[in-house]
Amino acid sequence: MKLVNDAGELRKIARDLRVDILKMLAASGSGHTGGSLSAIDILTALYFGRMNHGPNIPKDADRDIFVLSKGHGAPALYAVLANCGYFDKSHLGTLRQLNSMLSGHPYSPSTPGVEVSTGSLGQGLSMANGIAMALRLDKRKGTVFCMMGDGETQEGQIWEAAMTASHQKLDNIVGILDNNGLQIDGWVRDVKGIEPIGDKWRAFGWDVIEIDGHDMPAILSGIDKAVAVKGKPCLIWAHTVKGKGVSFMENKASFHGLTPTQDELAKALVELSTT
């Protein structure tokens, strides 16, 4: 797949993907809006700007692999995959419908481009570790990118996996923390605080790169730096905003698992058309 290196063009792609996300969620009436919007700039940078992948090389042994550990953010991944050509965009309107290829959480047997079935929070990094170890054993070149939610890192398995990646010196794995500060029950700091984030990951043997998860040049630079780290795994600690791009959704825990009404969709599309 031909990659884009222009930050302005990538920002435009991300804006269009936000439109796709909102439309599919409004049509479904079920799904997760806030976390999909917080993650989409990073996914855009990965799939359109940096990752070695494509629908014409779905099983290329040296491809880069993406694991969406925060599986409820599936609408963002589906929008990206459709626009990368893995399947026709008409399928986006079938999200969560019976017999649709687009389940509420990523399901690899039914959705082209989905590498791993996810959704049980806390498990994605362990699976990413296994893939990274297999790639190293087979002397493959690909990097494994694993996106986690910040509330998800309240799960103990994340830290077992973090310790394993460090112990195995998995420098072909890049963790990405979508740190939007909110989970379904409210602010992460109130439910179960996860600070100090950087110090914790470094204590577990990871390199840490802190970025603004909506600043496209910063995202691209962060990915490049993370991939270049040798001898240890690397975490991209991305500060993001829940519901980013739609003013009345931003920093609202209520939009964690709510979809826009038709009126809200219309209002959101107007906002996005002017950005």
Q: State residue 57's pLDDT score.
A: 79
Residues of the chain above pLDDT 90, percent: 97
> Mean pLDDT, to the nearest integer, of 106-124?
97
**Could you report the per-residue pLDDT of 7-56, keeping only the tens digit for each?**
999 999 999 999 999 999 999 999 999 999 999 999 999 999 999 999 98
pLDDT value for 261: 97
Q: What average pLDDT does this structure show over 117-134?
A: 97
pLDDT at residue 232 greater than cutoff 80: yes
pLDDT-based confidence at residue 1 (cuts at 50, 70, 90) = confident
Q: What is the mean pLDDT of residues 180-187?
A: 97
Mean confidence (pLDDT) of the chain? 97
Closest CA to 251 of 151, 152, 182, 177: 182
Q: pLDDT at position 59, please?
A: 82
- Separation between Cα atoms, residue 6 and residue 3, nearest integer Å: 9
- Please determine, for residue 58, whether its predicted confidence score (pLDDT) is greater than 80: no
Rounded average pLDDT over 197-206: 98
Residue type, 143: T
The pLDDT assigned to 238 comes to: 99
Angle between helices 7-28 and 262-273 (to 10 degrees): 170
CA-CA distances (angstroms) from residue 175 to 65, 69, 132? 12, 10, 12
pLDDT at 5: 95
What's the pTM value of the predicted model, to 2 decimals?
A: 0.98
Q: Are 146 and 137 in contact (CB under 8 A)?
A: no
Peptide bond into 109 cis (omega under 30): no
Give residue-wise pLDDT tens across range 156-183: 999 999 999 999 999 999 999 999 999 9
CATH 1.10.10.10 is held by the domain 7-273: no
Residue 23's pLDDT is 98
How far is the C-alpha of 165 from the C-alpha of 170, rounded, in Å? 5
**pLDDT tens readout for residues 69-81:** 999 999 999 999 9
The residue ranges of every structural domain in the chain are 7-273
Comparing CA positions, the residue from 187, 207, 205 lying closest to residue 195 is: 187
